[in-house]
Structure 1
Amino acid sequence: MIFTILKICIGIGCLVALFHYNFIDFQLLGKASSSLVTVAIAFSCLLFTVFIGALRWQILMGSLQVQITFIRSLNYTFIGQFFNVFLPGAYGGDFIRGGLVYRQHRDKLGEIMMSSLVDRLTGLVGLLIIAFAVLALIPNQFQFWIGIIVVSCLAIGFAAPVFVVRFQSLFRAIIRVFPNAVAKILLRIFDTVVECFEGYNHRKRDLIVAISLSVFQYILVLEALYLLGGAMEITSLSWIGYIVSGVAGLFANAIPLSPGGLGIGEAAFGQVAHLLEPVPTETAYSSIFLLMRTLTLLTAVFGLIPFLFYRDAINATRMQNEPLQKNEG
């Protein structure tokens, strides 16, 4: 609870600082309201990313022999977003949507948890691929170090599962050094991780599709940013600037210092946008990212419909928190 409050304070503090230093301008936000059609198209792009995320998660679960329909995956994904935005607390969106699947597949807890983890990781890989693709568009003084970071992250991401599976006997030997009770728990977790990695290794095509969906998902987000900038009549940033600034903002948004990267994503987007201006201006670029975040939060409202439909199952899932944790161990 203390950390949650601290993160909220950091997020609010970042927004206050952005307002104070004119990185966010309410007049620009008001100007966007006069271009409702453009804003609606941007909102549609962001809403469609939820459908893509649901399809990606369904594919990743199917690779581990956890079969659910796309409609269920979509409903559970919307419910997860609804919990993350409107009902924050001990029960995160991933826990709720995973718990709902667990009710139909009680022998697949490890696989469900791993599918959620890999779902997050494929999303990150998709963003890294976009970052690598736009590397040539970044100013020369930043290209080398950003390139090193992106390539290193991609290399680690692809090599780590292979390394774990190839040298699993070494990891088991290390785990057995721990006291028996702890080692037993860790070995069960490690066995599940290895089994899932091997499952994905046999379904490489599914991983490629999942990563491709992630790339498409982020392209839609970047397109939404570009459209919102147009709605605010901001013409001082090129489309290349939107892409590079958008990637920087989305990366910063993933830093878990505030709820959902609140304030941090806006600051990164605005700062990089100013660096990429052909002619220096005092445009409050962070306003674009803030409006995009607001529209993204509004997509979570759609989760209210499946939330009400699955309310009994959700309540049962929340009540099963302790049994689930015991089974995980």
Structure 2
Amino acid sequence: MKKEKTKRYLIIFLKTTIAFLAIWVLFKSEKLTKESFTNLFQAHNIPFILLSSLAYVSSQLLATSRLSLLLRAIDFHLRFFQGFKLNIIGNFFNIIIPGLTGGDLVKGYFLIRDEENNKGSTSGIIIMDRVLGILALGFLSGISIIYLLQLNNANLNIYHRKLYYIMVAIGALFCFFIVFLVFGSYQHVRGKLKTIFTKIFRNSILYYVVHGFGILIRKRRVLICSFLISISMQLITLSGLICLAKLTSGNVPGLLTLMAVSSVVMLLGSIPVTPGNIGWTELIAAFGWSAVGSDTGAEIFLYWRVVTVFCSLPGLYFFMAQRRAKAPKNHDYSVLESGENRGYKS
């Protein structure tokens, strides 16, 4: 237990160090300046900030629809507003206080608390919810890379090999998921896996996590609908990001190019290199946007971070209210003291 705690604190320390280094590089290279912050709060920028905030909230409404749809597949009915509150709570932990407790862990905890039978099945749904978000982002990034490779851009040419590597990684991810679904569709395979997991976990909460995950494999229509919702979410997120491009006076590429490079940045930025991906996403954006002739990538993604932080603030109120609601006396919340941020919200 002590070793695990030490390891966890060491990882947080390393991630925090990388975040500070990334921010230092951004300021040293003047990708971010003091003016980047003062510019955001000018009165004439408020309409664009509000539009971007609207896009973010809309994406969270879609995220709630996806979560509700997936939960219904295991006969767990979640009221829409309750699901929305859980998403905002998760975002609060992922974005505002990253590195301490992961947002998915908090959401999973509250869902498990409300489960009457098979406690833990909803955690399998939370995992699938995250997987579908990553797959949708990977799908859009794959299309974006194909588009970017067609551009006759000298600055972009030096990134061609890296883009091919990303394409291979995306292809491998989809192949693995498809193989997983195909094998999961065979009843005898599911039966053998069920026997194995029963022996390993002995009807513990981890068994029901796998149980919930397994139910979804058989309901492909639900998975397809959830995947399409995920793509819509990412497109709305990109539109919110594009709104913020109006806040800068620097060179901005065409709309399609901007959306393409931003989707790749969002995919790479979802890798949990730093707490809440602070500094890391902005650094990737600085390189990505410069490859298509713009020096404002870090600035725009910083503005998007400010928007997401502002919109996630109600998560603290929702968390406190949720913690009090239906909570038995002397309920143990120590589970929320472990875990860490899992990266960008997909």
TM-score relative to the length of structure 2: 0.79
What code does the residue aligned with 1:229 have? A
Q: Secondary structure at the match of 1:108?
A: coil
Q: Is the 8 A contact 1:22 1:284 kept in 2?
A: no
The answer to whether 1:154 aligns with 2:198 is no
Distance change (3 Å), C-alpha of 1:270 and 1:252: same
Equivalence for 1:30:
38
Q: Offset at 1:322?
A: 5.9
Equivalence for 2:297:
285
Q: Secondary structure at the match of 1:67?
A: coil
Farther-moved stretch of structure 1 (31-40 vs 109-118): 31-40
Equivalence for 1:62:
72
The answer to whether 1:297 aligns with 2:309 is yes
Q: Is the 8 A contact 1:222 1:242 kept in 2?
A: no
Q: Is the 8 A contact 1:165 1:194 kept in 2?
A: no
Q: Offset at 1:87?
A: 4.8
Equivalence for 2:24:
16
Equivalent residue pairs, number: 314
Equivalence for 1:179:
none
Q: Where in structure 2 are the equivalents of 1:1-329 lying within 5 Å?
A: 1-32=9-40, 33=42, 34-88=44-98, 91-140=101-150, 141-142=160-161, 144-163=164-183, 166=186, 167-168=189-190, 184-185=200-201, 192=208, 195-277=211-293, 283-313=295-325, 319-321=332-334
Identity of aligned residues (%): 18
Equivalence for 2:341:
none
What code does the residue aligned with 1:244 have? A
CA distance in 1, matches of 2:331, 2:302: 32
What code does the residue aligned with 2:242 have? Y
Q: Secondary structure at the match of 2:32?
A: coil
Q: Is the 8 A contact 1:54 1:73 kept in 2?
A: yes
Q: Is the 8 A contact 2:241 2:301 kept in 1?
A: yes
Q: Offset at 1:197?
A: 4.4
Distance change (3 Å), C-alpha of 1:158 and 1:14: same
1:236-292 Cα distance to aligned partner (Å, 9 max, x none): 322123112211221122111111211121111221111122xxx6x2421111111
CA distance in 1, matches of 2:49, 2:99: 31
CA distance in 1, matches of 2:326, 2:27: 39
Q: Secondary structure at the match of 1:310?
A: helix
Q: Offset at 1:215?
A: 0.9
1:135-185 Cα distance to aligned partner (Å, 9 max, x none): 331135356444333222212122224335644577679x69xxxxx9532
Q: Offset at 1:5?
A: 2.6
Unmatched runs of 5 consecutive residues or more in structure 1 = 177-181
Q: Secondary structure at the match of 2:313?
A: helix
Q: Is the 8 A contact 1:172 1:187 kept in 2?
A: no
CA distance in 1, matches of 2:64, 2:37: 30
1:274-325 Cα distance to aligned partner (Å, 9 max, x none): 1122xxx6x24211111111211111112233234324149769715469x9
Q: Secondary structure at the match of 1:139?
A: helix
Q: Is the 8 A contact 1:114 1:193 kept in 2?
A: yes
Q: Is the 8 A contact 1:43 1:224 kept in 2?
A: yes
RMSD of aligned Cα (Å): 3.1
What code does the residue aligned with 1:319 have? D
Q: Secondary structure at the match of 2:114?
A: coil
TM-score relative to the length of structure 1: 0.83
Q: Is the 8 A contact 1:96 1:318 kept in 2?
A: no
